[in-house]
Amino acid sequence: MSAGNFLFLQEIAMRDTLSYRSTVSACYTANFIGALVINLTPVLFIPLKTLYGLSYTQFGILLAANYVTQVAADILFSWPVDRYGCRPFAILAPVLTIAGYLVFALSPVLWENPFPGFLAGTILFSATGGLLELMLNIIINGIPGEQKAGMLSVLHSFYAWGQLTVVLLSTLALWYFGISNWQWIVAAWAVLPCINIWQFITCRMPPRIPEEQRQGASFLLKQKYFYFLIILIAFGGMSEVAMPMWSSAFLERAIKLPKIVGDTLGVCMGALMLGTGRLLYGLFGEKRDVLPFMILGAAGAVVLYLIAGFSGSHIAALAGCALCCLATSLLWPGSVVLANKTFPLAGAWLYAMLAAGGDIGAAAGPYMLGVIADNAPVWPVLSELFNKTSLTLEEFGLRCALGMGAVFPLITLGLLLWFWKKQRAGGEKTCKKRKGVVS
């Protein structure tokens, strides 16, 4: 397709923006499912630990496998998505979710040691997350109009609404039906991907960027800000994901709150804060630079990780877990917004690399906290401190893990301040150059 034909299709599409309502709805539902495949396992961890004896390290492996698989899907599918379009892969994503949930739920029935089955199921449904991260940003960015940043922020808010719904309903179901019925809860969640399959079969897809105009890998690899954006979203992913991944186990085992209280007041409130931050920017922040909000959020997250991990107050720990999610709410979508502004004609490869960077961070962060939780009490530098407390090995390990999570937003803050400084310096140079031309 020539550049002229592409611009003509864009002009026609802008006159008929209502026709994309079903497309936007499908994307929002898909991102809701993306939250489902990431957040259901953490809710199930304590029941699985109780029933099958899983360790915290095995839990960390499942979380890491989730995000490593997403990285692989991001990279492997980037060229086919550019070549064949998003629709076939948008339909494939919910199919993989259903298959993965079936394997996960049937693992204790099929194998004496269910962990390999849990891992296989995780790999299957985690591919969904990678596909969705790759495609949804492309689809939303391709819809004609000037509200890209706002639409992207609202899109990412549906991840939070999905997280809130999954955690709340799954926790209530475990409490009401008992942990021995967890397979039926997994099976019930497989209904939503069936709906999403039909949505993507019937919705309209926006026109693709012509190959001759697309900013592909060869162009992006020469740009220094491309590498900065990958690093930024990686640490943003660590900052955002580590807290909700561990807060359920932390509040139940370290703070000694009942599971239903910790999940509903801690984890669910965190998801509400995450979604609220993104929705507010989507509705009211379209014309405001996202960078100052990201800087403020990263700084706040450093303090809130420390409060959640080391505070002796139940209320302070709950508030730290919840408000940390508000503070980190724009770090991941804000990185995508910055990438869209920097490389407006990029194809699937940019979004694949962004998603891969975010997923690497989201995999590494929770895994590192899992290792700290298991080993902190026996590390020489911390063992003396442990001996001076009245905490159990598990409580001390979990507190150290969550408190040390403050390192992730601290590094993110440093990156953002560097970018802000470079941005201001570039703006001052432009102003001086313009004044020189005028004079």
Return the amino acid letter for 252. Answer: E
Coil/strand/helix, residue 215: strand
Dump pLDDT digits (tens) for 204-226: 887 766 565 566 677 788 888 89
**pLDDT of the residue at 13:** 47
Report the helix count and the strand count for the chain, using DSSP H and E.
20, 0
Of 91, 63, 102, 396, the closest CA to residue 238 belongs to 63
- Cβ neighbour number for residue 404 with a 10 Å cutoff: 18
Going from the C-alpha of 418 to that of each of 226, 279, 291, 415, 421, the distances in angstroms are: 15, 27, 11, 5, 5
What is the C-alpha to C-alpha distance for residues 226 and 340, in angstroms, rounded to an integer?
A: 11
- Residue entry with tokens 């640490």: 235
414 phi and psi angles, rounded to 5 deg: -60, -40
CB 318 within 8 A of CB 265: yes
- Stretch 34-60: mean pLDDT, rounded? 82
d(CA 107, CA 113): 8
Region of 216 please: left (phi>0), alpha (psi -120 to 50) or beta. Answer: beta
The long-range contacts involving 193-198, CB below 8 angstroms and separated by at least 24 positions, are: 193/33, 193/93, 193/94, 193/95, 193/97, 193/98, 193/128, 194/94, 194/98, 195/29, 196/26, 196/29, 196/30, 196/33, 196/93, 196/94, 197/91, 197/94, 197/95
Report pLDDT for 407: 95
pTM higher than the cut 0.85: no
Question: What are the phi and psi torsion angles at 346 (to 5°)?
Answer: -75, 150
**pLDDT per residue as tens digits for the range 361-396:** 887 888 888 888 888 877 777 777 777 777 777 888
pLDDT recorded at residue 297: 95
Characterize 239-253 residue by residue with b for buried, 16 or more Cβ atoms within 10 angstroms of its Cβ, and e for exposed: bbbbbbbbbbbbbbb
pLDDT in tens, 222-268: 888 899 999 999 999 999 988 887 887 788 877 777 766 766 666 67
> Do residues 405 and 242 touch, judged by C-beta distance below 8 A?
yes
- Each residue's pLDDT tens digit, 113-161: 888 899 999 999 988 888 888 888 888 877 776 566 777 888 888 988 8
Map residue 346 onto helix, strand or coil: strand
pLDDT above 50 (res 339): yes
Across all residues in the chain, what is the average pLDDT?
82
- What would the mean pLDDT of 343-349 be, rounded to a whole number? 75
Mean pLDDT of 424-429: 64
